[in-house]
């Protein structure tokens, strides 16, 4: 059974900056996650997204689609990267459990020979690719069924503990700029920011998702 | 000299999910950075943003504003967090150098007593705060001059080397899911994903910005 062509608001393309297939794929991932969890677009700080994307590879654009569909944004601290290098994400909503959405290999294989990627592999940026090529590959995404696109795994026992927030801040006693307390260091008895401390500015933040189901 | 009231597109609020002062502050940060670098909204992969935000503190919403103003998005890999805990970001455009934009302490102090934050400190989410309160604090942001808001530091010698990308991927020989090559590990002679490897899924990715000016 074919779905009707999926609709994505124009502003999501404006936010993202160009037309490519992976922003729409992410938009659909976010949409199906909301449906499966039985929740709406998240105005504040409800839905957490653990994206399995990493660095140094394409297709991360799907994360902009997820944010646009759900408002579980990077800015609000609702999206983290797990650095697994997969086109997948786990969505966790307090009290509702989690759901993992993975873009099927078969759909990745279906898209791979498209002319769009011939341009990309030559180093041509998405905004420079002829519109009929981009529109065609996006239509393939928008016309696919959820089942053609995704493996969806419900994770009712998924546990996630977001970092606890604090409003406490103080001025760095060297440069004078306000710093949130978690990031103050001490140097020669003074409370200083990481830049003024000379310490390695390399906090390692990683949230281990824990699930009874995995 | 007062500027005219700054304009932010409605979709930026829809993307972000709620009305708060820090998304508009970020939108203005992104806008001034584009102006100072002499560039337009970035359709593809030009502008890199190194946000000084961390975790476990408020005001990260400014990052959604920066992304909305510049299209230098998290999804496209154009925004990283430095974990300094400051309301600041450095913007780098190849061939144009960098610029750091910091929200002045004085403006932070000006906003701090506003009723909006009384609600926030009681744990009331932004979407639940009365619209006249949110609109009022946003108007303070939109009516401020650039000079009231920001310390802007041009960094003509700023050097940044983004990670090199690759399209190479393969199927994990245990779970069968596609994985980008950077994230394949080896276990018992098989190429496997991090989840199937049992290894710590904790790649530490941090880009050291280097500047002649700092």
Contact list in B for residue A126 (CB cut-off 8 A) is 43-44
Q: Which residues make Cβ contacts (< 8 Å) with residue A19, sequence separation at least 6?
A: A13, A126, A127, A131, A134, A135, A138
pTM recorded for the entire structure = 0.93
Least reliable range by pLDDT among A118-122, A179-183, B176-180, B206-210: B206-210
B76 touches chain A (CB under 8 A): yes
Chain A CA closest to residue B22: A75
CA–CA dist A31, A15 (Å, integer): 17
Contact A75 B16 (CB under 8 A): yes
**Percentage of chain B surpassing pLDDT 90?**
79
Neighbours of B5 (CB within 10 A): 11
Contacts 24+ apart (CB under 8 A), A189-195: A193/B84, A193/B85, A193/B86, A194/B83, A194/B84, A194/B85, A195/B84, A195/B214
B180 touches chain A (CB under 8 A): yes
CA–CA dist A4, A126 (Å, integer): 26
User: Hey, what are B127's tokens?
Assistant: 């979407």
- Report pLDDT for A212: 40
- In this prediction the ipTM stands at 0.92
Preferred mutation among B11, B45, B75 to probe A, highest tally of A CBs within 10 A: B75
Classify residue A211 as exposed, middle or buried by CB count within 10 Å of its CB (0-12, 13-18, 19+): middle
Contact A77 B55 (CB under 8 A): yes
How far A157 CA sits from the closest chain B CA (Å)? Answer: 18
Contact A43 B182 (CB under 8 A): no
In this prediction, residues B137-166 reach a mean pLDDT of 92
- Report pLDDT for B214: 40
In sequence order, the β-bridge partners of residue B185 are B192
Burial profile A53-86: b = 16 or more Cβ within 10 angstroms, e = fewer: bbbbbbbbbbbbbbbbbbbbbbbbbbbbbbbbbb
Residues of B (3-42) whose Cβ lies below 8 Å from A: 9, 11-12, 14-18, 23, 26, 41-42
Sign of the CA dihedral with A38 first, then A1, A22, and A131 last: negative
Contact A179 B65 (CB under 8 A): no
- Residue of A68, A170, A69, A153 whose CA lies nearest to B175: A153
| Beta strands per DSSP E along A156-200 | 169-171, 178-180, 185-187, 190-192
In this prediction, residues B138-164 reach a mean pLDDT of 93
B160 touches chain A (CB under 8 A): no
SS3 (DSSP) at B55: coil
pLDDT band at A83 (very low <50, low <70, confident <90, very high): confident
Give the tens place of pLDDT for each residue, A29-64.
999 999 999 999 999 999 999 999 988 889 999 999
Contact list in A for residue B181 (CB cut-off 8 A) is 57, 85
**Percentage of chain A surpassing pLDDT 70?**
92
Neighbours of A11 (CB within 10 A): 16
Q: How far is C-alpha A37 from the geometric centre of its chain's CA atoms? A: 17
Give the tens place of pLDDT for each residue, B121-141.
999 999 999 999 999 999 999
Contact list in A for residue B87 (CB cut-off 8 A) is 178
A194 touches chain B (CB under 8 A): yes
In sequence order, the β-bridge partners of residue A101 are A89, A152
């Amino acid at each position: 059974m074919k779905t009707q062509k999926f609709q994505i608001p124009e502003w999501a393309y404006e936010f993202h900056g160009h037309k490519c297939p992976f922003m729409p794929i992410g938009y659909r991932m976010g949409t199906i996650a909301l449906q499966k969890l039985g929740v709406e677009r998240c105005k504040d700080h409800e839905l957490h997204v653990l994206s399995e994307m990493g660095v140094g590879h394409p297709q991360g654009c799907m994360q902009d689609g997820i944010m646009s569909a759900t408002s579980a944004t990077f800015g609000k601290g609702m999206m983290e990267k797990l650095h697994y290098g997969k086109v997948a994400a786990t969505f966790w909503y307090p009290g509702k459990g989690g759901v993992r959405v993975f873009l099927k290999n078969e759909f990745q294989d279906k898209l791979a020979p498209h002319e769009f990627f011939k341009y990309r592999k030559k180093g041509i940026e998405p905004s420079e690719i002829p519109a009929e090529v981009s529109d065609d590959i996006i239509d393939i995404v928008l016309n696919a069924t959820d089942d053609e696109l995704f493996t969806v795994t419900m994770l009712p026992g998924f546990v996630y503990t977001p970092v606890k927030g604090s409003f406490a801040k103080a001025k760095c006693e060297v440069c004078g700029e306000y710093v949130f307390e978690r990031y103050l260091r001490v140097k020669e008895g003074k409370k200083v920011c990481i830049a003024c401390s000379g310490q390695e500015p390399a906090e390692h933040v990683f949230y281990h998702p824990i699930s009874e189901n995995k």
